[in-house]
Amino acid sequence: MDQLTYAKKVLSDIGMPKQQQSDLCALTLLALCDIKDHESFSDASNNWIRIHDIIQFVNTNYASSYAENSRETFRKQAMHHFRNAALIEDNGLATNSPNYRYRLTPEFLAVIKKMGKRGYNKAVKLFLSSHESLKSKYASKKAMPMLPVRINNKDYHLSPGSHNLLQKDILEKFAPRFAPNSECLYLGDTTQKDLVKDEKKMEELGFDITLHDKMPDVVLYRADKDWLYFIEAVDSVGPMSPERIIDIQRMTKQVECGKIFVTAFPDFKKYKRFSEQIAWETEVWIAEMPDHMIHLNGDKFLGPR
C-alpha cells in the first residue's frame, strides 16, 4: 500500500467517520506525522505544526494543489474531528495567533509508528481500549475559564486568550466612554468567528453581507449620532491599515452612516510596535489608558485649547 492508503486505513481502523477517511484527512495525517512518500511510518514524529504548514507539506510532497484560503476547510474537516477523537492536541494559544499549532498526541503517535509492522493491531486495540479516557484527558486541556461579557443586554462568554480579553475591554471600557448607548452589530470570538452578528441591522444600514469575511473584530452602531465604529483589536496582527480601510469601505459603500475607524491595543508598548502600519484619518485606543484616544486626523483637531 502507498502512504495515502495506509493513512486512510488507520483512520478507518480507529473508527473515524467516513467523512474523516477522505484524501484531505489522510493527507493531513501524513503532514502531522511528517511522513513523505516512501518513508517509513516508524520515523513518524509529532512536532508542532500550523495548518499553513500542513497545506505546504501536502502540496510539496503529495502533488496536491490546495490553496492557502482552504485553511478553514482543513480546520473543519480534519483538525476539529481529530482533536475531538484525541488524535491531536493544540498548544493552547488563541486560534488567530500566528503561533497556534497542532501535533499528534503521544498515544496516537504510538499507533502510527507501528503502521505496516508487527504489533500494529495490538497498538490499535490498546488505543481504542483507552480512547474514552484519552478524549477526556485532552478535552480537559481545552476546558479553560471563559471570559464573561454582556453584549446588547445578553450574557456571552468569550473563549480565553489575550485577543478576546482586549475585545472584552473594548465592550466594557471603550464603548461606554466613546460610543455610549451603542449596540454591537458584530463581534468575532477566536473560536466562534461570528459570535455576535446582527445581519438584519447591517443589511438595513447598507452592508454588503457577502463580504462579511472582511469584517473587523468589533462593529458598534450608535443610533443617536448615526455613527458606525469599526474596531480592530490588535494583540499580534491586524491594525487598521490603509488596506483594511479599503476592504471595509468596499463592504459598506452603500452605508450612509458616519464611519469611525479604530485600532485598539492592550498597552502602549504594543501600539508603538504597530504605529507605522496604522492608516491616517483613524483613531487609536489603548486599554491601559482607557480615558484617552490618539487621533491620527491631521488638521481636524488642530487649534487652540
CATH of residue 132: 1.10.10.1820
> Do 188 and 167 share a structural domain?
yes
Give the pLDDT band of residue 132 (cuts 50, 70, 90): confident
From CA 51, how far away is CA 244, in angstroms rounded?
24
Number of Cβ within 10 Å of residue 286's Cβ equals 20
Q: Fill in the DSSP letter of residue 211.
A: G
Give the pLDDT band of residue 231 (cuts 50, 70, 90): very high
Residue for cell digits 484617552? 292
Of these ranges, 22-36, 126-140, 193-207, 209-223, the one predicted with the greatest mean pLDDT is: 22-36
Is residue 202 within 8 A of residue 185, CB to CB? The reply is: yes
From CA 174, how far away is CA 283, in angstroms rounded?
12
Task: Check residue 144 and give its pLDDT.
Answer: 56
φ/ψ region of 267 (left if φ > 0, alpha if ψ in -120 to 50, else beta) reads: beta
Q: Fill in the DSSP letter of residue 235.
A: S
Residue 191 has pLDDT above 80, yes or no: no
Q: Kindly report the CATH number assigned to the domain that includes residue 156.
A: 3.40.1350.80
Task: Check residue 189 and give its pLDDT.
Answer: 80
Of 130-139, 195-204, 241-250, 288-297, the range with the lowest mean pLDDT is 130-139
At residue 164, what are phi and psi to the nearest 5 degrees?
Answer: -70, -30
Residue 104 has pLDDT above 60, yes or no: yes
> Do 114 and 202 share a structural domain?
no
Domain boundary among 116, 142, 168: 142
Domain boundary among 142, 169, 201: 142
From CA 134, how far away is CA 126, in angstroms rounded?
11
Give the pLDDT band of residue 303 (cuts 50, 70, 90): low
Mean pLDDT, rounded, for 103-121: 93
Rg of the Cα atoms in the chain:
23
> Do 234 and 194 share a structural domain?
yes
pLDDT in tens, 147-174: 788 898 888 888 777 888 999 999 999 9
> Do 175 and 102 share a structural domain?
no
> Do 124 and 66 share a structural domain?
yes
Facing residues of 295 across strands?
A: 283
Residue 92 has pLDDT above 80, yes or no: no
> Do 189 and 127 share a structural domain?
no
Facing residues of 263 across strands?
A: 232, 284
Average pLDDT over all residues of the chain: 88
Task: Check residue 153 and give its pLDDT.
Answer: 87
> Do 180 and 135 share a structural domain?
no
Residue 7, amino acid? A
Task: Check residue 149 and give its pLDDT.
Answer: 86
Quote the number of domains for the chain. 2
Residue 183 has pLDDT above 80, yes or no: yes
> Do 124 and 105 share a structural domain?
yes
> Do 290 and 160 share a structural domain?
yes
Task: Check residue 215 and give its pLDDT.
Answer: 85
Mean pLDDT, rounded, for 58-73: 92
Domain boundary among 142, 164, 187: 142
Angle between helices 131-142 and 120-129 (to 10 degrees): 60
% residues pLDDT > 90 (the chain)? 64
Task: Check residue 212 and give its pLDDT.
Answer: 58
Facing residues of 49 across strands?
A: 102
> Do 235 and 123 share a structural domain?
no
272 by DSSP, 3-state: which? helix
Angle between helices 23-33 and 51-61 (to 10 degrees): 100
Residue 43 has pLDDT above 70, yes or no: yes
> Do 54 and 10 share a structural domain?
yes
pLDDT in tens, 270-287: 999 999 999 999 999 999
Residue 272: give the domain boundaries. Answer: 147-301
> Do 282 and 173 share a structural domain?
yes
Alpha-helical runs (H) found in the chain = 3-13, 23-33, 51-61, 71-74, 80-84, 106-112, 120-129, 131-142, 162-169, 175-178, 199-205, 242-251, 268-274
